Amino acid sequence: MTDTKTISKKMSYWLRHNPAAGQLTLDGAGWAGTADVLAALGRARLPNGLDDLAHVVATNDKKRFELSPDGTRIRARQGHSIEIDAEWPQTPPPAVLYHGTVDRFLPSILEQGLVPGARHHVHLSPDVVTAQKVGARRGEPVILEVLAGALADSGAVFLLSSNGVWLTAHVPPAFLRRLAE
């Protein structure tokens, strides 16, 4: 049976943060050769068949990875700490987007806004359910409404990844509201 969680974590690390750890080379848009990733999984003593890889891509809960149309390349969709240009389209956001977090991060968020940290973008969800899942990874989720339309009107750029995650550079505190519980 394919250990999808372990494979997904390993691939996330290589394709988002440290390709050298997997002996991988990414192109400017973050793509690695599928054969190279399979070889890296083999070196890591993880299942490394094409079916295993396809299963991880297809069943990942957040659709973190995408294969090229011809299946010869794979990349992480977003969440990179390394510099890439994933060619996400600049897209006007809806009036409201959402961000899932936990209580312990609220004081910092309310002071600084949402910042990307080690990543290149702040990640926003299109709906409350997705934001709850994101926040629940670290504890009891707190959901913030992001006044994305107003933020875009103020000049902020929004990108839309191929799995529906909204990306922006920063969300100032004035554009955040805690969703009523």
Find the domain containing 44 and state its range. 4-76
- Confidence (pLDDT) at 77: 82
Domain of 126: which CATH number? Answer: 3.20.170.30
Q: Which two tokens stand for residue 104?
A: 């312990």
Task: Tell me if 81 is assigned to some domain.
Answer: no
- Confidence (pLDDT) at 120: 78
Domain of 9: which CATH number? Answer: 1.10.10.970
Q: How do 166-168 and 159-160 pair as beta strands? A: antiparallel
157/119 same-domain check: yes
44/113 same-domain check: no
- Could you tell me the pTM of the whole model? 0.69
- Confidence (pLDDT) at 91: 94
- Confidence (pLDDT) at 1: 42
Phi and psi angles of residue 117, each rounded to the nearest 5 degrees, phi first? 60, -130
- Confidence (pLDDT) at 61: 75
- Confidence (pLDDT) at 138: 82
72/118 same-domain check: no
Task: Tell me if 174 is assigned to some domain.
Answer: yes
How many domains does the chain divide into?
A: 2
Average pLDDT for consecutive 10-residue bins of the chain (181 residues)? 80 93 92 95 92 89 86 87 80 96 93 87 92 86 95 95 89 93 64
Q: Which two tokens stand for residue 147?
A: 């006044």
Q: How do 176-178 and 141-146 pair as beta strands? A: antiparallel
Task: Tell me if 162 is assigned to some domain.
Answer: yes
Domain C-terminal end among 46, 76, 106: 76
15/69 same-domain check: yes
- Confidence (pLDDT) at 116: 87
Q: At what angle do helices 4-12 and 34-43 cross, to 10 degrees?
A: 110
